[in-house]
Amino acid sequence: MRQGKAVASFLGLIFVAAAVVFGVIAFMNSPHQVAQKWADALAQRNSEMMKKLVLPKDQERVSGLLNVANMLPDMSAQLAGIEDQQGQKIARISVKFSRVVVGNFNLNLSGNVNLPFVLVRDRLILWRVDLEKSEPLIREEARKAFVEALKRNPALQSLLKLLPR
């Protein structure tokens, strides 16, 4: 009888330990936690961390995203929020910049853009960034932010006034 209680207690302890481990893993890989890690890795331009947070099929896309981020040498990035859109979780990363560098050109353009990154489930409880699904959304938001930054640049406004209509 005592041996049966000991086995039952041991199995109960194993069950509780497994539930705690499962809960910790689920919390550490929640959409909010993954999005926060993604924003931090993007701000730090940490390609190794970014590759851990994307789906395996998207690991090659990280370098392209970092090439674009390097065009904004003073950018900052932080999580602005997560929203549900048409059944998808979208992490909005607020990126602020005041310079754009393209080759030898250094433009004083300042702006802010909320870049959308699609989050998807990977392996039951893990969440990952899907860059393939995110790219068209990012392009549109980045284009809008760039146009707005150009419109607010006083030097470009002066130049545009000189051009014939």
Q: Is the pLDDT of residue 43 over 90?
A: yes
For the stretch 131-159, pLDDT in tens is 999 999 999 998 888 888 777 777 666 65
Q: Which CATH class is domain 2-162?
A: alpha beta
What's the per-residue H, E or C state across 147-164? HHHHHHCHHHHHHHHHCC
Q: Where are the domains of the chain?
A: 2-162
Strand partners, 81: 92
So what's the pLDDT on residue 157? 66
Contact assessment for residue 114 and residue 77, using Cβ atoms and an 8 Å cutoff:
no
13 CB-contact burial (10 Å; exposed 0-12 / middle 13-18 / buried 19+): exposed
For the stretch 11-29, pLDDT in tens is 777 777 666 666 666 566 7
How, if at all, do strands 105-107 and 88-97 pair?
Answer: unpaired
Q: Is the pLDDT of residue 162 over 70?
A: no
| Reported pTM | 0.78
